[in-house]
């Protein structure tokens, strides 16, 4: 008896070939769909963990730097529109200062914005700060804050340089 495909008669050899082609096609389709499901979604180049390697800032009209006028480091982590940071710094002759905070962020080209949701300096909780952010390879440079009309009190500018940890 001959096998039939869509009511067309087939020889045993042709029916076997068609079954093999059908099984291989289904396996290939399954492999492609599983591979597509395993791919991580595109992430921002900012996402991940960064370690501060240096910083410069103005304090009472004097330019300060780390390392130099102080020592310490900070880790900053970004994920899906949120950031957190934790660090410890020591200025020469002063006790160490622990610093931590976090909130939400947006990145549009080089324009970076942070809204502080919690921070060791309570006075800035709820405020939004604008910065310029540049990523080159495994180095991130954050400069700001860019003064806005609502934040005239922030006259101090700083530059933080980070190295990617992950």
- Residue 3: predicted pLDDT: 53
What is the spatial distance between Cα 81 and Cα 149, in angstroms, rounded to a whole number? 25
* Continuous segment of H or E residues that includes residue 164: strand 158-164
C-alpha 50 chain-centroid distance: 9
Mean pLDDT of 17-27: 72
- Four-CA torsion 7, 9, 15, 18, nearest 10 degrees: -60
For the chain, what are the domain ranges?
A: 3-38, 48-164
Pick the CATH number of 48-164 from 2.40.128, 1.10.8, 1.10.287, 3.30.310: 2.40.128
What is the spatial distance between Cα 49 and Cα 96, in angstroms, rounded to a whole number? 23
pLDDT in tens, 100-139: 999 999 999 999 999 999 999 888 899 999 999 999 999 9
- Residue 64: predicted pLDDT: 78
pLDDT in tens, 30-87: 666 666 555 556 778 899 999 999 988 877 777 878 877 778 889 999 999 999 999 9
For the cut 70, the answer to whether the pLDDT of residue 149 exceeds it is no
Phi, psi values for residue 35, rounded to 5°: -65, -40
> Is the pTM for the entire model greater than 0.75?
no
């Amino acid at each position: 008896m001959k096998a039939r495909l869509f009511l067309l008669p087939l020889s045993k050899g042709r029916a076997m070939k068609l079954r093999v082609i059908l099984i291989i096609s289904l396996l290939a389709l399954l492999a492609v769909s599983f591979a597509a499901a395993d791919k991580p979604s595109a992430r921002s180049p900012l996402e991940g963990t960064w370690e501060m390697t240096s910083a410069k800032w103005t304090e009472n009209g004097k330019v300060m730097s780390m390392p130099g006028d102080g020592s310490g480091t900070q880790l900053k982590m970004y994920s899906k529109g949120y950031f957190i940071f934790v660090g410890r710094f020591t200025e020469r002759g002063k006790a160490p200062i622990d610093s931590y905070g976090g909130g939400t962020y947006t990145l549009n080209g080089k324009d970076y914005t942070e809204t502080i949701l919690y921070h060791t300096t309570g006075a800035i909780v709820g405020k939004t700060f604008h910065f310029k952010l540049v990523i080159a390879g495994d180095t991130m440079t954050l400069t700001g804050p860019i003064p806005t009309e609502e934040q005239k009190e922030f006259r101090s500018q700083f530059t933080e340089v980070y190295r990617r940890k992950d």
